[in-house]
Amino acid sequence: MPEWLAGNNWELRDPLFLATGLFAPLVYMLAKRLPASLIYSSLSLADAAPRSLRARLSTLPAVLFAIATLCLAIAMAGPRTGDATTKIKRDGIAIMLVVDRSGSMDARDFVKNDYSVSRLDAVKSALREFVKGSDSRSGRPNDLVGAIAFGTYADGVCPLTLDHNNLMSIINDLQVARIQSEAATAIGEGLALATERLRAHPTQSKVIVLLTDGVNNAGEIQPLQAAELAASLGIKVYTVGAGTTGIAPMPVRRMDGRAVLRPTPVEIDERTLAEIAERTGGRYFNAKNAEKLAESYAAIDELERTEITEIRYMQYVEHYTVFVILALTFIAIAALSSGTVLRRIP
């Protein structure tokens, strides 16, 4: 038996046509009452004789015509099976990652008792999990993600892309600015460049994730000016302040070429970062160490999820042709048999 007939997922498109099946008995009676073969003065001898197979099958054409009528009635009713299908529509988010690579990002205070990991190294690790995911997180597979790096100047290091492997390779290659003229902190420039990159993109949902560990001290654009521009374009900005204001161990090269850690004053403008987030509808996070940094990006990941729309619809497979073929087959057999082996002589 066909799978569609054995299951319970079939239906009739126009079940009212089944009423035509009521004509089956009428078709049977009309087909059976054809003119007699011969005229006898008495049927007593014929009745006493044993009935042959041909005589027993004499009503077969009428039965086949009646069955054909039922098959045609079912065919007109439109038997079909429905297959419930789910279509997933994912509306991705355009995310621009803005990363501080100023001199202070070389501080070694993010991993306790491990002074080999700089702040920038910790940021790279957190960004990798944010974009690519981990055992507990799916990452951002459906989102366009780009990157801006800034020190004294802002650079677009990667455009918006779905090629997250290439994106992370570029981010992994970022280095702390070593030259003094490039080691300042232009927060406003980085935010403004990210806003410009997102401005013309057709994606409806646009987000900037800005990370810095310092105070804006370079560039012509002030951070709050850039925030106002982002807000006017409907771009949400999440800010992450890495570190605290105080003293942090910083590697310094001695005259003999060896690097030593030296306590260095560091300062972070949390007030401005919080104001940027508030003006754009985002949120500010303070990350004092690697764990807090990972938690900050995980929180942003939860707040900005890709919209998933599930659309359910039915796809139907029509089966009326099976019953049409059966009806035509029965009609053909009935016509051939009544005209040959089961023929009646008028």
**What does the domain layout of the chain look like in residue ranges?**
3-85+316-339, 93-305
Whether the per-residue pLDDT at 45 is higher than 60: the answer is no
Distances in whole angstroms, Cα of residue 57 to Cα of each of 27, 283, 338? 17, 87, 10
Q: Say what the pLDDT of residue 313 is.
A: 59
d(CA 248, CA 107): 6
Residues in the chain: 346
Q: What is the mean pLDDT of residues 14-38?
A: 76
* Confidence tier at 123 by pLDDT (50, 70, 90): very high
Both tokens of 112, joined, read: 């306790």
Owner of token pair 């910083």: 250
d(CA 156, CA 95): 13
Average pLDDT over the chain, rounded to an integer: 85
The helix (H) or strand (E) run that includes residue 105 is none
Distances in whole angstroms, Cα of residue 158 to Cα of each of 98, 145, 166, 169? 11, 9, 9, 10
Is residue 177 within 8 A of residue 103, CB to CB? The reply is yes
Whether the per-residue pLDDT at 36 is higher than 60: the answer is no
Residue 134 backbone class (left: φ over 0; alpha: ψ -120 to 50; beta: rest): beta
Within its chain, how far is the Cα of 10 from the centroid? Answer: 29
Q: Which CATH number fits domain 93-305: 3.40.50.720, 1.20.1200.10, 2.40.110.10, 3.40.50.410?
A: 3.40.50.410
* Confidence tier at 238 by pLDDT (50, 70, 90): very high
Characterize the bridge pairing of strands 246-253 and 259-266.
antiparallel
Best-predicted range by mean pLDDT (85-94, 308-317, 332-341): 332-341
* DSSP code per residue over 119-178: HHHHHHHHHHHHHH--SS----TTSEEEEEEESSSEEEEEEEES-HHHHHHHHHT-----
* Confidence tier at 4 by pLDDT (50, 70, 90): very low
DSSP SS3 for 147: strand
Residue type, 134: S
Nearest to 218 by CA among 147, 268, 153: 153
